[in-house]
Amino acid sequence: MNINTTKIISLLFFIFSAFYLYTAYQIQVFAFDENAPFNARTFPIYLGYAGLFFSGLKLILPDPNTIKVDHQNLEYKKTGILILIAIIYGATILKVGYFLTTSLFLFASYYFLGERRWILMFLLSFPFVAAFMYLLHGILDIYLRDPFLKSIGVMG
């Protein structure tokens, strides 16, 4: 059997399905529901077996369309940085507020993607987010939590 990344993904999915199936069997159901034709664990159990079946087949059967990915040409560093910025954005958005974090997230993302036109970067972050916030909060009446703007008295 030829081992390629697709097979490894299938193996991981097989292990994941086995774990899912194990967890499905652990779901606590009410005593009166235990022997019912259908309870909270029935459908997940079927899904667990289906996952084992399809990933098992993918593992066993030959793979005629092997996908080759040239890792040399992939931009792992920039993608990683972007994901990291997004995680920091997610971590600070509630505490700091929508306006400042979103503007800084956009500004930092433009910078790390190689942009250096500062004025354009600024316009497409702070004023852009302010306009977007006005659309959501001011016009559509969708609440946006923003402790920062509240602390400086811009938002009620």
Q: Report the residue number, 120 or 154, with the smaller CB distance to other proteins.
A: 120
The length of the chain is 156
- CB of residue 68 to other proteins, shortest distance in Å: 10
The pair of structure tokens assigned to 65 is: 């369309």
- CB of residue 11 to other proteins, shortest distance in Å: 12
- CB of residue 126 to other proteins, shortest distance in Å: 13
- CB of residue 30 to other proteins, shortest distance in Å: 6
Q: Report the residue number, 62 or 153, with the smaller CB distance to other proteins.
A: 62
- CB of residue 127 to other proteins, shortest distance in Å: 14
Q: Report the residue number, 19 or 151, with the smaller CB distance to other proteins.
A: 19
How would you write the chain as a 3-class SS string? CCCCHHHHHHHHHHHHHHHHHHHHHHCCCCHHHCCCCCCCCHHHHHHHHHHHHHHHHHHHCCCCCCCCCCHHHCCHHHHHHHHHHHHHHHHHHHHHCHHHHHHHHHHHHHHHCCCCCHHHHHHCCHHHHHHHHHHHHHHCCCCCCCHHHHHCCCCC
Binding site for other proteins (CB under 8 A): 5-6, 9-10, 13, 17, 20, 23-24, 27-30, 33, 36-44, 47, 50-51, 54-55, 57-58, 61, 64-65, 67, 69-70, 73-76, 78-79, 82-83, 86-87, 89-91, 93-94, 98, 102, 105-106, 109-110, 113-115, 120, 124, 132, 136, 140-145
